[in-house]
Amino acid sequence: MGDNEDFEKVRDDAKNMVTKIMNDIGKSSTTQQLLIGTASGWTTGYITMKVGKTAAFAIGGGIILLQIAQNQGYIRIDWDRIRKKAANTTEAVENNLSSNAPTWMDQVKKFISKNSCFAGGFLGGFFLGVAS
């Protein structure tokens, strides 16, 4: 099996697992949905803040180090080439997202409308996790 086939298998397994979890949540009682939503929202918010701070520090520090190295003459950065690559990447990502967005958003809207207690708990938990 090639790397692409392995990736597709993992992607399909993850999709199936997420679908199963979402279906199980939909069958739970309102109290369970609220508790699961709050717990998963808090966890997501907390991890987002921790990873976000670490990523911001690493990216910012890397940019500062590159700038210092360039000013000292250790490296030469071709900014025009970087801008062109960034523009091409941005365009590719926008095209990919725009082609997949309606299906994904429809699924999210459907899930939220079916499981409003879970969604409310998740949102509240997420804000608590971000704040802690």
Please, which pLDDT band fits residue 93 given cuts at 50, 70 and 90? confident
Alpha helix stretches (DSSP H) within 1-132:
3-27, 30-71, 79-114, 116-131
% of the chain at pLDDT higher than 90: 16
pLDDT, residue 59, reads: 92
Those residues whose C-beta lies under 8 Å from the C-beta of residue 132, and which sit 6 or more positions away, are 42, 45, 46, 49
Please report, for the chain, the start and end positions of each structural domain, with discontinuous segments joined by +: 3-131
Residues 47-78: pLDDT tens digits?
Answer: 999 899 899 999 999 989 988 998 898 888 78
pLDDT, residue 112, reads: 83
pTM over 0.75: no
pLDDT, residue 42, reads: 92
42 class by beta-carbon count within 10 Å (0-12 exposed, 13-18 middle, 19+ buried): buried
